[in-house]
Amino acid sequence: MPQVPQTFFDALAVRTWCGLALQALGRAREEIDAINVYPVADGDTGTNLYLTVESAAAAVDAVFAGHEVGSRRPERPSLAQAVRAMAHGALIGARGNSGTILAQLLRGMAQVLAADDAPHTDGPGLRLALRRAADSARQAVAHPVEGTVLTVASAAADAAGKAEGDCGAVARAAHEGALAALAATPGQLAVLERAGVVDAGGRGLVAVLGALVETLTGEAPRGVPTSLSAGHARGEGDAAEPHLCPDAAATPEDGGPAFEVIYLLEADDDAVARLRRQLDALGDSLVVVGGDGLWNVHVHVDDAGAAVEAGVEAGRPYRIRITHFGAGDVHTARGERPPVERVQRAVVAVVPGEGLAGLYADAGATTVLARPGEPPASGELLHAVRRAHAREVVLLPNDAELRHTAAAAAEQARTEGIRVALIPTRSAVQGIAALAVHEPERRFDEDVVAMTSAAGATRYAEVAVAEEQSWTMAGICQAGDVLGLIDGDVAVIGSDVTATAETVLDRMLAAGGELVTVVLGDEVPRSVADRLEARVREAYLAVDTVVYRGGRQGSLVLIGVE
């Protein structure tokens, strides 16, 4: 169905653009992976771009969800809120070299579009945003190379700068400039010329800009390759189309670093400036993007430990991902992985804090860390399922909001021949109950039934602090109130963490129970758990209590009653 044209670029256009860009990258992902030869022929550029945009789209959707009917806020967020969410989502979800650069492109646009908090922008505003995007991305790369996505982004900004008219005209010009620059990339970078392909990151950016054209004009642009068929070879088809050939000899450059290191980093500007110098001396393909205290760091090095240690010196690194560029750890030139010996069964679980991640890992689960306000995307869950290297996987989302995301990851995994069962756990304490009865030696169906039964028999609660005034099932709460939620609904509004947790516990145990699980957040003193344990001993005979430290988990206290 064609999109409705939009003369101006506003919050709704941001949301539409993210959705269309995700669809475009989904369609082009495999072909982009197949032509990925620079800087490393690891066949994952399309996947990394997709995951980056998926994170951006999810962040924008979350902002819109907070402004829907029933909220005291306006029905639709502002342009500034939407673009900031898009940039932040891309930053925390950026994958690989190209995904990190795309995150900076979106951040550069957001800096312009959110500057005056206007409800929308026009053609000149979009021109300026595209210019800032290209310039900021180039500045984020330690040693810019022509013939890459940076070249394509600069060409798009140059073409947009010469365009006159509304946002649709500017977007069309940017897309056409990017497409022409993409076709020229093999003549600028020797490795592309030898392989007979265009730059993969640039190809992804063309898809993203094509989605912008469709958002603003209602029509998908012509002349964008949609397959790797022979008809796209040089001399055939539209003269503006770049050469795409999956059968080219896509070999990586010899003698490159052994590891790709990526992490998010909380640090100030001065510390990041020192970090750039340190990492530049350690390796290559250095890209550091972000600002305002949060950064995404990407580098290729031989000493992965030194790259992480440099981050520790600069601030607080987390979501650390280290990939070895050996044949057993990354894609080959054509995006294929050598076979890996699989175990029969594994459990993959989303956990809300480092402490629980350790607990789940000790029990044999493959974990995905969900930091407060940063839910994992389906691609991250799919990666964890693959990383488990199992024929059968039990997936525990541990959050009601992640059920559809987990279902999408499970469906994709099934197409790859992995048998996946999704247990709809809504809290980490339900996941703990499920994991406690997990027996890999049982038949898969029997194991899933037992785990589902254990999770379903566990009531869950959490104690958290209200961020703003709002209506709840227990009445009106004010910002700063302590809330006790049982099975997802606010049941208690209080002012003290311990007293609220006790009230919640009493209400849960009124219906009976045999085991109470308490998970304390980072900032909660042990005395809270001691009081809850004492309460159980004094008032509820034959009920046991176990206590865990959850780390930075969002909630102050999690409680489970089996």
CB 491 within 8 A of CB 502: no
Query: Residue with structure tokens 């900076």?
Result: 104
The amino acid occupying position 243 is H
Query: Which two tokens mark 245?
Result: 């050939």
Task: Report the helix count and the strand count for the chain, using DSSP H and E.
Answer: 18, 18
Query: Residue 238 has what pLDDT?
Result: 39
Cβ neighbour number for residue 506 with a 10 Å cutoff? 14
Query: Mapping DSSP to helix (H, G, I), strand (E, B) and coil, where does residue 115 land?
Result: coil
DSSP per residue, 156-206:
HHHHHHT--SSHHHHHHHHHHHHHHHHHHGGGT-HHHHHHT---HHHHHHH
CB 91 within 8 A of CB 298: no
CA-based radius of gyration for the chain: 25
Within 13 Å of residue 239, how many CA atoms lie on the same side as its CB?
Answer: 0
User: Could you say which DSSP state residue 376 is in?
Assistant: P
End-to-end CA distance of the chain: 49
Query: Mapping DSSP to helix (H, G, I), strand (E, B) and coil, where does residue 70 land?
Result: coil
Query: Mapping DSSP to helix (H, G, I), strand (E, B) and coil, where does residue 516 land?
Result: strand
Query: Which two tokens mark 25?
Result: 């990258």
Burial class (CB in 10 A: 0-12, 13-18, 19+), 38: buried
DSSP per residue, 204-218:
HHHHHHHHHHHHHHS
Q: What share of the chain is helix, strand, coil (3-state, %, to 5)?
A: 45, 20, 35
Biggest CA-to-CA distance, the chain: 83
Query: Which two tokens mark 198?
Result: 């265009």
Give dist(CA 330, CA 151) in Å, integer.
26
Query: Residue with structure tokens 């990258």?
Result: 25
Give dist(CA 550, CA 111) in Å, integer.
36
Give dist(CA 43, CA 330) in Å, integer.
8
Cβ neighbours for 208, distance < 8 A, ≥ 6 positions apart: 21, 24, 25, 49, 53, 102
User: Could you say which DSSP state residue 491 is in?
Assistant: E
Q: Could you tell me whether strands 475-477 and 489-494 are parallel, antiparallel, or unpaired per DSSP bridges?
A: unpaired
Instruction: Report angle CA 101, 102, 106 to the nearest 5 degrees.
Output: 120
Cβ neighbours for 154, distance < 8 A, ≥ 6 positions apart: 134, 138, 181
Give dist(CA 457, CA 286) in Å, integer.
49
DSSP per residue, 18-49:
HHHHHHHHHHHHHHHHHT--SS---S-HHHHH
Cβ neighbours for 159, distance < 8 A, ≥ 6 positions apart: 173, 174, 176, 177, 178
Q: Write the Ramachandran bin of 526: left for phi over 0, alpha for psi from -120 to 50, otherwise beta.
A: alpha
What count of residues does the chain have?
562
Handedness of CA 10, 11, 16, 22 (dihedral sign): positive
Cβ neighbour number for residue 64 with a 10 Å cutoff? 18
Query: Mapping DSSP to helix (H, G, I), strand (E, B) and coil, where does residue 64 land?
Result: helix
Handedness of CA 462, 465, 467, 470 (dihedral sign): positive
Query: Residue with structure tokens 């989605």?
Result: 211
Give dist(CA 544, CA 518) in Å, integer.
11
- Tell me how far the alpha carbon of residue 227 is from its chain's centroid: 26
CB 370 within 8 A of CB 399: yes
Cβ neighbours for 497, distance < 8 A, ≥ 6 positions apart: 463, 482, 524, 528, 556, 557
Burial class (CB in 10 A: 0-12, 13-18, 19+), 495: exposed
Q: pLDDT of the chain along its 562 residues, tens only?
A: 445 556 689 999 999 999 999 999 988 888 888 888 887 776 778 888 998 999 899 889 888 886 654 445 456 789 999 999 999 999 988 888 899 999 999 999 999 999 887 888 999 999 999 999 999 999 999 889 999 999 999 999 999 999 988 999 999 999 999 999 999 999 998 888 888 889 999 999 999 999 999 999 988 887 554 333 223 333 333 333 444 433 333 333 445 787 888 898 999 999 999 999 999 998 888 999 998 899 999 999 888 888 888 999 999 988 888 777 653 444 333 334 444 467 889 999 998 877 788 888 888 888 888 876 677 877 778 888 888 888 999 999 999 888 888 888 888 888 888 899 999 999 999 999 999 999 999 999 999 999 999 999 999 998 999 888 888 888 899 989 999 999 989 999 999 999 999 999 999 998 888 899 998 887 888 888 899 999 998 888 888 988 888 777 778 889 999 8
Give dist(CA 212, CA 14) in Å, integer.
9
Burial class (CB in 10 A: 0-12, 13-18, 19+), 194: middle
Give dist(CA 525, CA 357) in Å, integer.
20
